[in-house]
Structure 1
């Protein structure tokens, strides 16, 4: 398998959040899903998490999103303790796109994207309750950002459509737009290439590579099965197997690691 890698050094000039995961262990009954897992997503970096089925990728993603609480270990965000909770992610400057689309069936594409910013909670409880001018201004800015994303991601023809009427690839773009509308400093992507065709994966790769320089800057943690995609877009990779980190490094380094070839891709596969 011939893969052209894309590596962008983190030189300290790029912005975005700095996430660290330290010594995280998660157990479900007698099963250890993660064991002493540690890594970091540096500012402006695209970090990929790969591994075979059952390696612990989804559990790790759920820990960072706040869906799963580890038994041991801790997380920091920009050097401060980070105890993620799904309902507070946006306020922390973190957004996520889930493997399942999770679009609201009763809302239009535009309304689904706007919902990604957390609605009135983003402008403050008192402002929303009293309908202060700041709320109206913020809502206009939010709709402007949503409209810009609709244009950028080629969703203009679907802006007022219901999610149930959309092709799957279009729904994936809506989910990405919803994750981006809050202008996150850290974006968590769970299998964004799942179900996409070749050309659509190429478009996704271009979008992911543009994220670190987007707005005020964005770091990305990408959990993905699509090897070609992660090798192209990621600055560094973390490889899991049976809940443990077996390799870290640039795509060029990881693809030469015999343990990765054997555990993830199969001993006979040339990566």
Structure 2
């Protein structure tokens, strides 16, 4: 898979989280989390189950309102609202596939690009006035993305007929069709086989350069995280316990303790024997 070559050559948005806290009743989901995603960086968020990773993502997306702390986008205060994020260049993928089941693959990818069009494909679905020139451009751009992702042969297919790995590629293509400046990937490797994960890793590493976006991802596949991320943030019980380069995080005893009680041979980094991990360590 190859990232699209968009018109924007800049390296993407800067996201800053400062002292983010979230409480659900008596439960503290996040406790004073501060994190930066610099332009052009790929930043991973990892941690054991229940550490607060999804809550942190939902704060950035506006699905959860923090009880304390602030967010900034390019130095300006950000109060995320889900329906306005795409217009700010912030796009999120879902843990699964999340495609519109009643639309074809091509139409799904076209919906991702409507936020950059003056008159978009969605207006056509709603029988609203639209520009034929815009719609032709959307179709051409969407088809080009499908070709780059190697799934152009599925353009006329419905999501329910797709192999899971193909559906994940289509979902990523739809996200990139929106020309994000900050791309939020929620477990992008979930459910994928080894070869698909290899191709995904190759894609993610090219995004800052070729798509002009910063990337923040939550992922459980540690070999993928260690290869593609410039920095890794580790959460445990809602607190940030480590933030550094992959090598720094790998050697951090607090991370080992958080995962498996300091049994180093059982940490998520100890069994890095896949081709991805071997390449990252080379």
1:247 — aligned with what?
242
Does the CA-based 8 Å contact 1:91-1:122 persist in structure 2?
no
Q: 1:264 aligns with which of 244, 259, 280?
A: 259
Structure 1 unaligned residues grouped into runs of 5+: 1-12
Q: Using the alignment, how far apart are the partners of 1:225 and 1:265 within structure 2?
A: 15
Q: Using the alignment, how far apart are the partners of 1:140 and 1:52 within structure 2?
A: 46
How big is each residue's C-alpha offset from its partner over 1:59-78, in whole Å with a ceiling of 9 and x where there is no partner? 00111111111111111111
2:231 — aligned with what?
236
1:165 — aligned with what?
161
2:107 — aligned with what?
111
C-alpha spacing 1:246/1:141, structure 2 compared with 1 (3 Å): same
* Bigger mean CA offset, 225-234 vs 78-87: 78-87
C-alpha spacing 1:130/1:58, structure 2 compared with 1 (3 Å): closer
Shift of 1:47: 0.3
Secondary structure at 2:264's aligned position in 1?
coil
Aligned pair 1:194/2:178, yes or no? no
Aligned-residue Cα RMSD (Å) equals 1.9
How big is each residue's C-alpha offset from its partner over 1:168-194, in whole Å with a ceiling of 9 and x where there is no partner? 111111111111101110000000000
1:139 — aligned with what?
135
Q: Using the alignment, how far apart are the partners of 2:51 and 2:14 within structure 1?
A: 24
Shift of 1:83: 1.3
TM-score, normalization by structure 1: 0.88
Secondary structure at 1:214's aligned position in 2?
helix
Does the CA-based 8 Å contact 2:21-2:69 persist in structure 1?
yes
Shift of 1:146: 0.9
Shift of 1:266: 4.8
Shift of 1:28: 0.6
Shift of 1:265: 5.0
TM-score, normalization by structure 2: 0.85
Structure 2 unaligned residues grouped into runs of 5+: 1-8, 270-282
Q: 1:88 aligns with which of 84, 87, 104?
A: 84
Shift of 1:267: 1.8
C-alpha spacing 1:122/1:76, structure 2 compared with 1 (3 Å): farther
1:4 — aligned with what?
none
Shift of 1:139: 2.7
1:23 — aligned with what?
19
Higher relative contact order (CA 8 A, sep 6+): 1
Pairwise mapping of residues 120-139 of structure 1 onto structure 2 (< 5 A)?
122-123=117-118, 131=129, 135-139=131-135
Q: Using the alignment, how far apart are the partners of 2:227 and 2:42 within structure 1?
A: 11
Secondary structure at 2:232's aligned position in 1?
strand
How big is each residue's C-alpha offset from its partner over 1:69-99, in whole Å with a ceiling of 9 and x where there is no partner? 1111111111111111111111001111111
Shift of 1:147: 0.9
Q: 1:225 aligns with which of 220, 231, 245?
A: 220
Q: Using the alignment, how far apart are the partners of 1:150 and 1:141 within structure 2?
A: 14
Q: Using the alignment, how far apart are the partners of 1:110 and 1:186 within structure 2?
A: 23
Q: Using the alignment, how far apart are the partners of 2:151 and 2:85 within structure 1?
A: 25
**How many residue pairs were aligned?**
253
Q: 2:57 aligns with which of 46, 49, 61?
A: 61
C-alpha spacing 1:124/1:142, structure 2 compared with 1 (3 Å): closer
Aligned pair 1:206/2:202, yes or no? yes
Secondary structure at 2:113's aligned position in 1?
coil
